[in-house]
Amino acid sequence: MRKPVYLDYNATAPVRPVAAEAVARALQVTGNASSVHAFGRAARRLIEDARAAVAGLVGGPAGSVVFTSGGTEANNLALRGFANRRVVVSAGEHDSVLQAAPGAARLPLRADGQVDLEALEGLLSGRTGPVLVSVMAANNETGVVQPVAEAARLVHQAGGIFHCDAVQAAGKIPFSMHDNGIDLLSLSAHKIGGPQGVGALVVGPGPGLEPQALLLGGGQERARRAGTENLPGISGFSAAADLACRELDRYAELARLRGEIERRLLAEIPTLRVYGADAPRLPNTACFGLAGLRAETQVMALDLDGVAVSAGSACSSGKVTPSHVLRAMGASEEEAGSAIRVSLGWDSRADDIERFLDAWLAFYRRNLAA
């Protein structure tokens, strides 16, 4: 039996061996990092070393890394941790941003998947009161990289705070919190080969950037997030972040494999729609669709052939529904409902691409080509 092919890295990446080893070592450490005795200090050292490694992933200040249960909690802390601020979020954000600020103004996307900066200027101009704007670094469904530096500049000119969900970008492309003018930045370990259930909010050094804690009951994480820290998860996050920093060139190579997927499919099916192809994208992500082929049918057929891909975000309780991201880019409901995402990662190989192409093209020929 052939080995299954995993091409759903944007949902979660396989755990890197070095991260699994770091988790195993941390499980042998006895001590609460809040304790002052030697056992506690040993645990504390691991956490503080991890802060530096995670900060290094995005060029942020090590002392401002707040460890959380994942990217979702980090986004909630950023969006809900600043009371009395008018909130603006892009229409293509992850549900953990959209649902954390249900009353937020929506910043539209252009047809290529990038945010409309002129619309952002309009939303910011002539408004009174403090504002918080959230624009992700790269979209989880299309891979489109957003102009976050330009967006942050506009927000700061209006006296606002700029939050960026960098869960998909970190470890895949060079990305600097400082260079992009980001005040608050969300991360997740399992997207870069770390364990699930751990993430971080990195808080910039500027004035007025202290989020109000959502979890109360202790002084952990500099009173920003109560609860005993997840030492094994944080240690695995640290190891994955360190390796991801050193292997960015590997992700750059994945652009060739992604390009091969799109080239081969378009050569046979010129009417195939590749979403985000006219904008800068992550090197590992291809999102495409063909009217008449339902996304869920494609995902199930490929799964039966031993190839794992996805339709839209993986954070929708297993439901396959038309993507709000693609709809915001101007796709019809039928077009959005036909799109699938192929996402590569640290362990992807050329053979995986051949398996996917063989399986998908066979499915297409059975269903539409005739």
Q: What is the distance between the alpha carbons of residues 8 and 240, in angstroms, rounded to a whole number?
A: 18
| CA proximity to 183, closest of 130, 228, 104, 142 | 130
Instruction: Kindly state the average pLDDT of the residues 282-291.
Output: 96
Higher pLDDT, 208 or 277: 277
Mean pLDDT of all residues in the chain? 94
Token reading at 173: 């492309």
Q: Which amino acid is at 276?
A: G
Query: Looking at residues 251-275, what average pLDDT do you find?
Result: 95
Write down the pLDDT at residue 369: 59
Averaged over 112-134, what is the pLDDT? Answer: 92
- What pLDDT is stored for residue 317 in this prediction? 43
How far from 113 is each of 70, 196, 197, CA to CA, in Å?
25, 28, 29
What does the block give as tokens for 60? 């942020």
CB contact at 8 A, 84 and 195 = no
> For the segment 199-213, what is each residue's pLDDT rounded down to a tens digit?
999 999 888 899 998
> What pLDDT, on a 0 to 100 scale, did the predictor assign at position 218?
87
Decide if 315 is catalytic: yes
pLDDT band at 312 (very low <50, low <70, confident <90, very high): low
The pLDDT tens digits of the residues spanning 152-172 come to: 999 999 999 999 999 999 999
247-261 pLDDT tens trace? 999 888 899 999 999
* Residue 223: predicted pLDDT: 84
Mean pLDDT of 319-335: 88
The pLDDT value given to residue 318: 53
Q: Answer for the pair 210, 203: CB distance below 8 angstroms, yes or no.
A: yes
- Yes or no: say if 112 and 278 are a contact pair by the CB < 8 Å rule: yes
Which pair of tokens denotes residue 210? 């202290």
Q: What is the mean pLDDT of residues 187-191?
A: 98
CA distance 257 to 280: 16
pLDDT in tens, 63-84: 899 999 999 999 999 999 998 8
Mean per-residue pLDDT for 20-45? 95
For the chain, give the percent of residues with pLDDT over 70: 96
Q: Rounded to the nearest 5°, which phi and psi values hold at 185?
A: -140, 130
Instruction: Tell me the percentage of the chain whose pLDDT exceeds 90.
Output: 86
| Alpha carbon separation from 354 to 265, 298, 307, 357 (Å, rounded) | 12, 17, 11, 5
Q: 361 — phi, psi (to 5°)?
A: -65, -35
Q: Which two tokens stand for residue 351?
A: 């053979």
Mean of pLDDT values over 292-302? 95
The active-site residue out of 164, 245, 287, 315 is 315
CATH, domain range 5-13+248-369: 3.90.1150.10
Q: Does domain 17-246 sit in CATH 3.40.640.10?
A: yes
pLDDT tens per residue across span 49-59: 999 999 999 99
Q: Are the beta carbons of 221 and 66 closer than 8 angstroms?
A: yes
Closest CA relative to residue 339, chosen from 350, 328, 348, 352: 328
SS3 call for 254? helix
pLDDT value at 341 more than 80:
yes
Domain parsing of the chain, residue ranges: 5-13+248-369, 17-246
